[in-house]
């Protein structure tokens, strides 16, 4: 036994050094960022921006892999079941928070199977309506909806999307009955709102700003905590009839639970550097996007708060994905 003790102790000592060394040397090979959405969308675009920055900063390729399907569940589940070594990351959006209650039988649980790494950015939305709608602000819209319950409609790009859930939150907080009209494509929903076939829609400020300026639609309110820099003259819903209303849409990065803390911290720091760059802020502002910087702990708290918030909206509204 004494003859084996020294080699065994030596191996144990070596193993104790491998963890910190591995974390310090991360990444030692290419890293995959899974985007659970189709290529070309905002999630895909910003994942590539983050991937390029991380590739340059950490001297290893960060490769984007699009794995869309089942409302982000297929790609997200693949990452949740990946090795927790920092070499498979997941781009998440605000839809991940709503899916926790809208899709209760998912094969993964977000905050159990994945760990918060870093936020990327968020964008504001506006509540828009065709010029023909006899309401020019949120207070008038609420009065109209209460006078004619169930007769007004709002469009979205589909059940469970941020545009849909923003509408459900508005219904719950304003205590009005407005019918949801889901579309397969956001572009089709916008066309019908502009044409007056549907009375209103919650849509990205950056997407609708041109239509608002051209007076094809009117902006009744924006839905962030503060007014949009793109539409500074448009009040928020919170200040114009629905106190406390907020429904921003956001993007971020998560990794499988068990990923070393040192790896998470390194990724968080680098993504934070990207979001803090003046040129990035200026470029994203043109797209009505705001960079977001949080520690992993703060981002974890934020995600849990979003999940709880939307769970209550789903409970009150009865919203579901068929």
What CATH number did the domain enclosing 162 receive?
3.40.190.10
Q: Give the span between the Cα atoms of 265 and 260, in whole angstroms.
A: 9
Is 227 inside any structural domain? no
Would you state the pLDDT for residue 23?
59
* Beta bridge mates, 201: 128, 155
Q: What CATH number should be reported for the domain holding residue 294?
A: 3.40.190.150
Among 222, 239, 262, the domain boundary falls at 222
Whether the predicted pLDDT of 159 surpasses 90: no
Contact 226, 235 (CB under 8 A): no
Same-domain check for residues 114 and 150: no
Would you state the pLDDT for residue 16?
46
Is 157 inside any structural domain? yes
Same-domain check for residues 111 and 141: no
Q: Give the span between the Cα atoms of 267 and 53, in whole angstroms.
A: 11
Q: Give the contacts of 296 (CB within 8 A, at least 6 positions apart).
A: 115, 116, 117, 118, 264, 265, 268
Give mean pLDDT, residues 130-159.
Answer: 94
Is 237 inside any structural domain? no
Q: How does residue 231 score in pLDDT terms, banded at 50, 70 and 90?
A: very high
Would you state the pLDDT for residue 187?
86
Q: How does residue 168 score in pLDDT terms, banded at 50, 70 and 90?
A: very high
**Lowest mean pLDDT, pick from 51-55, 69-73, 250-254:** 69-73
The mean predicted confidence, pLDDT, of the chain is 90
Q: Where is 33: in which H helix or E strand?
A: strand 31-35
What b/e sequence results for 148-183 when a residue is b if at least 16 CB atoms lie within 10 Å of its CB, and e otherwise?
eeeebbbbbbebbbbbbbbbbbbbbbbebebebbbb
Contact 36, 51 (CB under 8 A): no
- Name the residue with higher pLDDT: 267 or 71: 267
Whether the predicted pLDDT of 39 surpasses 90: no
Is 191 inside any structural domain? yes
Give mean pLDDT, residues 106-132.
Answer: 96
Domain count, the chain: 2
Whether the predicted pLDDT of 82 surpasses 60: yes
Is 208 inside any structural domain? yes
Would you state the pLDDT for residue 61?
98
SS3 257: coil
Would you state the pLDDT for residue 322?
60
Whether the predicted pLDDT of 13 surpasses 80: no
Task: Supply the angle between the helices 296-317 and 94-102 in degrees, to the nearest 10.
Answer: 50
Is 171 inside any structural domain? yes
Q: Where are the alpha helices (DSSP H) in 90-234?
A: 94-102, 110-113, 138-147, 162-174, 186-195, 205-213
Rounded to 5 degrees, φ, ψ at 136 are -110, 0
Q: Which domain holds residue 181?
A: 125-222
């Amino acid at each position: 036994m004494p003859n084996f003790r020294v080699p065994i102790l030596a191996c144990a000592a070596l193993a104790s050094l491998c963890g910190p060394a591995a974390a310090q040397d991360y990444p030692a090979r290419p890293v995959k960022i899974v985007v659970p959405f189709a290529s070309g969308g905002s999630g895909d675009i910003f994942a590539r921006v983050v991937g390029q920055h991380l590739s340059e900063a950490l001297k290893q390729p960060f490769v984007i892999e699009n794995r869309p399907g089942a409302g982000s569940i297929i790609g997200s589940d693949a990452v949740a079941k990946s090795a927790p070594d920092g070499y498979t990351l997941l781009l998440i959006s605000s839809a991940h928070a709503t899916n926790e209650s809208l899709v209760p039988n998912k094969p993964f649980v977000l905050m159990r199977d994945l760990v918060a790494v870093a936020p990327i950015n968020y964008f504001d939305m506006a509540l828009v309506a065709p010029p023909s709608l006899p309401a020019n602000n949120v207070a008038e819209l609420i009065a109209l909806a209460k006078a004619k319950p169930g007769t007004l409609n709002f469009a979205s790009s589909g059940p469970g999307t941020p545009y849909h859930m923003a509408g459900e939150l508005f219904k719950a907080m304003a205590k009005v009955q407005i019918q949801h009209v889901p579309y397969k494509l956001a572009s089709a929903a916008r066309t019908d709102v502009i044409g007056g076939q549907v009375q209103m829609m919650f849509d990205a400020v950056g997407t609708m700003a041109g239509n608002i300026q051209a007076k094809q639609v009117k902006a009744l309110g924006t839905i962030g905590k503060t007014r949009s820099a793109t539409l500074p003259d448009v009040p928020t819903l919170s200040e114009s009839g629905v106190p406390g209303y907020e429904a921003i849409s956001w993007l971020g990065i998560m990794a499988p639970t068990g990923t070393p803390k040192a790896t998470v911290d390194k990724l968080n720091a680098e993504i934070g550097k990207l979001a803090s760059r003046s040129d990035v802020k200026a470029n994203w502002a043109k797209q009505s996007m705001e960079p977001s910087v949080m520690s992993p702990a703060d981002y974890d708290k934020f995600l849990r708060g979003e999940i709880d918030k939307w769970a209550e909206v789903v409970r009150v509204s009865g919203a579901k994905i068929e």
